[in-house]
Amino acid sequence: MKYDVNEQGFYGEFGGAFIPEMLYPNIQELKSSYREILSEDAFKEELESLLKDYVGRPTPLYYASRLSTHYGADIYLKREDLCHTGAHKINNTLGQVLLAQRLNKTRIIAETGAGQHGVATATACALMGLECIVYMGAKDIERQAPNVSRMKMLGAEVCAVHSGSKTLKDATNEAIRDWINNPDDTHYIIGSAVGPDPYPDLVTQLQAIISKEIKEQMEGLPTHVIACVGGGSNAIGAFYNFLEDESVNLIGVEAGGMGVQTDKSAATLALGTKGVLHASMSYLMQTSDGQVVEPHSISAGLDYPGIGPLHAYLHDCSRVTYKNVTDEEALEAANRLMKLEGIIPALETAHALAYLEKMNFTTTDKIVINLSGRGDKDMNTYINANI
């Protein structure tokens, strides 16, 4: 496929594996085997069966009639919020746990910020009887107490990281350190379409089921597919099988935070410049001397200073349009979906919904919004916002 990663692990100038030398054997083992394992019949059968009976796939493509009337266009919601554990992340963690088993790994490590990827990893490990260690910044452990409890209930060990800003990037450093020290028995599950090659492609392939199902569920092609973008895994999942259908407008919505003109934003493609973050060349929010800028978003899942390298490439070749909406606009959009459709979306997802306010519709438009997750985890934010 035209937009797939090349042999060297790049999408145009983006991607690659800018890793410490000690990580090279781990990355090389993964890179040399993942495509083959993913395409084995036995692997595909096992994953498909779990996705069906355990996750609840295919997720519905729901025609949102009151939302459609409100905007005067046909709007469909791809219901990833109905996946087991409440979001798309389980598509990736289940696939990677099966891959780890094929590579004879008995120990799984992951990093998590808001805790959603940690919970999805702990879930897949419990299902497969694998040891699970989740690195999490001490500050995030305090902020995300319910997800910490969930991970522990599922049998995972949550490792508090006290270095640096005690948040996601410090947890990532600690997970990488662990992987270097345990190369033989351990697989590292990255939670979005980011990190060194081959992770962006691995995560893309595992999330591409979203757009595969949309294509099967829809008569003809949509005119637009819209998804929120943090690292970019739900968005690339929703876009992937439409990339070569040039008539389909693909729109990624980043978190504008308090607005891109303020210093409280997470809109990487609006504010970022080229550089290396988490071992991959992409756009990132950084100062002129290359220090990562602390991002801000009301939604923990979009609060990331980088973006996956495939998105950077799709942005530069103009195949996907990237926009951003503010915290306030996301809250309003969440409220609108609750009242019009009886669905409480995740705050991340609300960013994709908020973009509908900025579109000019024609009555022949058929718009798919990827409803990446449900809003249970965001109850406190919604309550405090008086929705």
Catalytic residues: 89, 111, 372
Out of 57, 79, 89, 187, point to the residue binding ligand PLP (CB under 6 A). 89
Smallest distance, ligand PLP to C-beta of residue 228, A? 5
Of 50 and 350, the one with the shorter C-beta distance to ligand PLP is 350
Q: What six digits make up the tokens of 95? A: 């696939």
Of 206 and 228, the one with the shorter C-beta distance to ligand PLP is 228
For residues 343-362, which are near ligand PLP according to CB under 6 A?
346, 348-349
Out of 78, 96, 373, 381, point to the residue binding ligand PLP (CB under 6 A). 373
- CB-based contact 229:253 (threshold 8 Å): yes
Smallest distance, ligand PLP to C-beta of residue 364, A? 29
Q: At what angle do helices 24-39 and 41-50 cross, to 10 degrees?
A: 80
Name the 3-class secondary structure at 143: helix
Smallest distance, ligand PLP to C-beta of residue 352, A? 9
For residues 293-332, which are near ligand PLP according to CB under 6 A?
301-302
- In Å, how far from its chain's centre is CA 380? 22
Please provide the distance, in angstroms rounded to a whole number, between the alpha carbons at the two ends of the chain: 44
Of 64 and 229, the one with the shorter C-beta distance to ligand PLP is 229
For residues 172-231, which are near ligand PLP according to CB under 6 A?
192, 228-231
Of 118 and 222, the one with the shorter C-beta distance to ligand PLP is 118
Considering only 56-64, 135-143, 173-181, 233-241, which stretch makes contact with ligand PLP by CB under 6 A? Answer: 233-241
- The 114-133 site mask, x for binding ligand PLP (CB under 6 A), equals --x-----------------
The full DSSP string for 204-251 is HHHHTHHHHHHHHHSSS--SEEEEE-SSSHHHHHHHGGGTT-TTSEEE
Out of 68, 186, 205, 234, point to the residue binding ligand PLP (CB under 6 A). 234
Name the 3-class secondary structure at 119: helix
Residue type at 47?
Answer: L
Please work out, in degrees rounded to the nearest 5, the angle formed at the alpha carbon of residue 276 by the alpha carbons of 275 and 281: 85
Smallest distance, ligand PLP to C-beta of residue 295, A? 13
Q: Give the start-end residues of each E strand in the chain.
A: 10-11, 14-15, 61-63, 74-78, 107-112, 131-137, 157-161, 186-189, 224-228, 249-257, 273-277, 280-284, 320-326, 366-370
370 binds ligand PLP (CB under 6 A): no
Q: Footprint of ligand PLP on this chain (CB under 6 A)?
A: 87, 89, 116, 192, 228-235, 301-302, 346, 348-349, 372-373
